[in-house]
Amino acid sequence: MSKLRCIIIEDEPLAVKVLTDYISQVPFLDLRGSFRDAIMATDFLRQHTVDLMFLDIHLPRLKGMAFLKTLTHPPAVIITTAYHQYAVEGFDLNVTDYLLKPFEFERFLVAVNKVKAPEATHPRLSEGLDSKDYLFLNVQKKKVKILFSDILYIESQREYIKLVTTRTTYLSKISTHEIETLLPPQLFRRVHRSFIVSVSRIDSFTAEYVEVLGVSIPIGRGYRDVLDQL
């Protein structure tokens, strides 16, 4: 298995230590360097190929988001910050994930697996995932089994999601980006930053919205190509 070459851009020594420790525990990650500001990282990126960056937002000299906008062909980016208010801007810049400090190793692993998945080829594992027709969702301190065929749509509710099924509605503390990794891509499509819909449950659609069981769900500007797939 080829490793993901990654770098850390972070000015807090303790945060660098935590990330370095987490990275060392993941076999498919290869840390190539850490930098206390974006200017130093820019010089490194000009001379080396990197697959993944762990990027803080509040950096000296050049802020993380401003730095990200300067990159023509950025690698995968996982934001690491204590400030939740930049999440929307981050996802508008197509970051892979947004980790709020302090985060546990389990949450870190969820984020890096999003980068690993497109490049990994595990036929047996893929076959097993494709054959599953359900997921277990944390709802009020218990895990609830939900059939994919029952799901109508999923809506972001800040740090929670509202998962609407044919039977009832569930509220779970998980992001839409995390739940998206658990759903079969051939059955579900993200049509908006805040919405994922079951393709088979779409009754009609226009350029601005899809309709699922009488509910109009907006289509985001960055997701118009989903219409072609539909």
Q: What is the pLDDT of residues 147-166, one digit of tens each?
A: 999 999 999 987 899 999 99
> Residue 150: its pLDDT value, please?
94
Comparing 63-67, 116-120, 161-165, 192-196, the range with the smallest average pLDDT is 116-120
> Residue 81: its pLDDT value, please?
87
Comparing 40-44, 62-66, 123-127, the range with the smallest average pLDDT is 123-127
Question: ω into residue 218 within 30 of 0, thus cis?
Answer: no
> Residue 168: its pLDDT value, please?
93
Domain boundaries, the chain: 4-119, 124-229
Q: Is 98 exposed, middle or buried (0-12, 13-18, 19+ CB in 10 A)?
A: buried
pLDDT at 127 over 70: no
> For the chain, what percent of residues have pLDDT higher than 70?
87
φ, ψ (nearest 5 deg) of residue 172: -135, 145
How far is residue 226's CA from residue 127's CA, in Å, rounded to a whole number? 25
| pLDDT tens string 203-226 | 998 889 999 989 999 998 777 777
pLDDT at 184 over 90: no
> Residue 159: its pLDDT value, please?
82
pLDDT at 197 over 70: yes
**44: closest CA among 8, 97, 4?**
8
Model confidence at 186, pLDDT cuts 50, 70, 90, reads confident
> Residue 33: its pLDDT value, please?
94
- Give pTM, 2 decimals: 0.51
Mean pLDDT, range 71-78, rounded to an integer: 87
Model confidence at 229, pLDDT cuts 50, 70, 90, reads low
Question: Which residues 6+ apart lie within 8 Å of 163 measured at CB?
Answer: 137, 146, 151, 154, 169, 170, 171, 172, 179
Model confidence at 116, pLDDT cuts 50, 70, 90, reads low
4-119 CATH, one of 3.30.700.30, 3.40.50.300, 3.40.640.10, 3.40.50.2300: 3.40.50.2300
> Residue 195: its pLDDT value, please?
93
> Residue 132: its pLDDT value, please?
75
Fold of 124-229: OB fold (Dihydrolipoamide Acetyltransferase, E2P) (2.40.50)
> Residue 128: its pLDDT value, please?
43
